[in-house]
Structure 1
Amino acid sequence: MTTRNILIIGILVVIGLAVMYTLTASDNEEVYVENIQKERERQFKYLKFNIDSPLTADQKRDLNKLDYYSIDPKYKVRARMVPVEDRKMVELPMTDGTVEKYLKHSFAEFELDGQKHMLLLLQAAKESDKRNFFLAFADATSGIDTYGGGRYINLRQDGKNSITIDFNLAYNPYCAYNPDFACPLPPKENIMEIALEAGEKDYKKE
């Protein structure tokens, strides 16, 4: 991944975290849905118009919308953070065959539809804020309704041993729009058998 790619991701992380603060602070479902919609609109405008967008000029011209599942508050879950016993750096494979280093930090344990789940939380090697985490996952929708290479969520620890995961905020890696970008693939711990029908769907050029 180039320095430019890292810079773009860093900018999105900062913006995304600000949105997350707003979303987690509100218990009003109408306000919650409105905030999700605003974030989706911001994401579209960034890809379509921003000078730092990963899209080429031709790709920006062809981008008319992003496709999402309907917003469902049940996909916003509270997870318990369980530290990884042997916390170490691991190399995640990238879509271009290279690797990117991340710290295996914690497992997020949560319930969804009465079932218990566990996902691995990662931290980028150069992450300065130790409350920020990166979640890359794939599920039963991957390669069908959603991007085959999985989806991402940027997370911020909001409790001593807990974190909020909102799958309505799941977004596509840049390589879903521009194959020239290299994107990390989800670790094996985050390949889920259930269908997470929340967040962004696969990008299909019209």
Structure 2
Amino acid sequence: MRIAFTLLFLVVFAACAQEKQPVLGETEFQKEMNAEYKDATTSPLKDKDRKAFKGLDFFKFDSSYVVKAKIKRTPDTQWFDMKTTTSRVSPQRTFGVLTFELNGETHQLNVYQGKEIMQREGLGDYLFLPFLDDTNGEESYGGGRYIDLRIPESDTIEIDFNKAYNPYCAYNDKYSCPIVPRENYLALEIRAGVKAFEK
């Protein structure tokens, strides 16, 4: 009887241990993303992909992809309809132009402010930085990647490309995702952040 109980306990313990696997990730950002994608209430993954999900594939963290950018604000820009992967449009305005050094060269990216998202609680200072680079379609998602930023108090802002993530459309075609404007193409490989998703 005791042996049977012990065996039953071990089987239950082993099952619980399997369910409670540690969240993978080299950095806090990677762990947070993996936890979000593993959780059925927050994951953009299709059910079949989530059930088999172990963790996203990331480039190795590289501090050279953490850069300080000068932000030139553009307060007079008009709202425009940013195209998405569906018929929906996303009302955006160019909040400013970011200028930074990477790989010994100067680069620029537009950073955007979304009319809808800025009205949500706690997101009034949210900035949207979508970009394309030469890893797209090979090591990273073909449609480009996004970085979340917040409006800085000064005229400088940190861009951490290690926090670049894929649009939800990379995982599930039920989502409508803003298409990265062509002017936000970087003519180099950004080997940082989330890699392409292998379904």
Same fold (TM over 0.5): yes
Q: Is the 8 A contact 1:36 1:168 kept in 2?
A: no
1:40 corresponds to: 30
1:182 corresponds to: 176
TM-score, structure 1 as length reference: 0.77
3-state SS of 1:44 partner: helix
Q: Could you say if the C-alpha distance between residues 111 and 73 of structure 1 is closer, same or farther in structure 2, counting changes exceeding 3 Å?
A: same
1:95 corresponds to: 85
Structure with the larger helix share: 1
Moved more, 55-64 or 69-78: 55-64
Q: Distance between the aligned counterparts of 1:167 and 1:74, measured in 2?
A: 9
1:28 corresponds to: none
Select which of 178, 181, 187 maps to 1:193: 187
Q: Is the 8 A contact 1:158 1:164 kept in 2?
A: no
Q: Is the 8 A contact 2:46 2:171 kept in 1?
A: no
2:162 corresponds to: 168
Residue type of the partner of 1:154?
D
Alignment of 1:139 with 2:137, yes or no, is: no
Residue type of the partner of 2:54?
N
3-state SS of 1:43 partner: helix
Tell me by how many angstroms 1:96 deviates.
1.8
Deviations 1:94-128 (A, max 9, x none): 11243211111100110111100110010110304
Tell me by how many angstroms 1:85 deviates.
6.8
Q: Distance between the aligned counterparts of 2:84 and 2:181, measured in 1?
A: 11
Select which of 111, 119, 131 maps to 1:121: 111
- Unaligned stretches of 5+ residues in structure 2: 1-24
Moved more, 137-146 or 96-105: 96-105
Q: Could you say if the C-alpha distance between residues 187 and 36 of structure 1 is closer, same or farther in structure 2, counting changes exceeding 3 Å?
A: farther
Residue type of the partner of 2:72?
V
Q: Distance between the aligned counterparts of 1:118 and 1:161, measured in 2?
A: 15
Residue type of the partner of 1:185?
I
Q: Distance between the aligned counterparts of 1:36 and 1:118, measured in 2?
A: 29
Residue type of the partner of 1:83?
R
Q: Distance between the aligned counterparts of 2:151 and 2:181, measured in 1?
A: 20
Q: Distance between the aligned counterparts of 1:133 and 1:96, measured in 2?
A: 22
Tell me by how many angstroms 1:130 deviates.
4.8
- Unaligned stretches of 5+ residues in structure 1: 1-34
Q: Distance between the aligned counterparts of 2:40 and 2:103, measured in 1?
A: 38
Q: Distance between the aligned counterparts of 1:183 and 1:145, measured in 2?
A: 20
Instruction: Give the CA RMSD over aligned residues.
Output: 1.8
Residue type of the partner of 1:62?
A
Q: Distance between the aligned counterparts of 1:37 and 1:154, measured in 2?
A: 16
Q: Distance between the aligned counterparts of 2:170 and 2:62, measured in 1?
A: 24
Alignment of 1:149 with 2:143, yes or no, is: yes
Moved more, 47-56 or 110-119: 47-56
Equivalence map 1:100-111=2 (5 Å): 100-111=90-101
